Amino acid sequence: MTDILGEPSVVNEIGRLFATNFWDHSIDAVMTVETKGIPLAYATATQLQVPVVIVRKSSRVTEGPTVSINYVSGSSKRIQSMVLPRRSLKSGANVLIIDDFMKAGGTMRGMANLLEEFEANLAGMAVFVETKDESPKLVDNYLALLSLDYVNDGQEIQIEPGNITNFYKGELK
């Protein structure tokens, strides 16, 4: 995945795909967590002409007052924290959450919960690759570009189209 997310032209096309699917949702900001999803969030936000909000795993003194929540990671089932500076979002903002990889959806669910603390609205969620085998997912109504079917001893990877085709038909997962 690093190969793909390190290629600016590919990342820009993925951002264009995500933005196209959410252009009519009145997006005010794109949110992601500090991972490889950052380039995807910026590419999407560029297309939508909105700012990017990056959720961190710990606070930084330079960011001023922050809101911190605990969430359960869907894959590891561990309690983790995420932090967002108070000045990052305005009340009532419509936010699109973007992530690079989703196993069970715990991180995306955590970001959605964080939006509630800011009295912001979840306008949509999109992920580059989701795992197919992790069920049930902790979030609903998300767009997945690709679905990872299996990894065979680290040598062979089976990838299928995600629910993006259902998304175009108006049928979300």
Between 77 and 69, the more confident residue is: 69
Of the chain, the percentage scoring pLDDT greater than 90 comes to 52
User: Per-residue pLDDT averaged across 129-147, rounded?
Assistant: 85
CA 57 to chain centre: 15
pLDDT band for position 173 (50/70/90)?
very low
C-alpha triplet 106, 54, 27: angle, nearest 5°: 90
Find the helix or strand (DSSP H, E) in which 145 lies.
Answer: strand 143-152
pLDDT band for position 170 (50/70/90)?
low
Asked if the model's pLDDT at residue 32 lies above 90, the reply is yes
In the chain, domain spans: 2-168
What CA–CA distance (Å, rounded) separates 110 from 166?
25
Answer whether 0.85 is exceeded by the pTM.
yes
Find the helix or strand (DSSP H, E) in which 151 lies.
Answer: strand 143-152
- Find out whether 101 and 128 touch, Cβ atoms under 8 Å: yes
CATH of domain 2-168: 3.40.50.2020
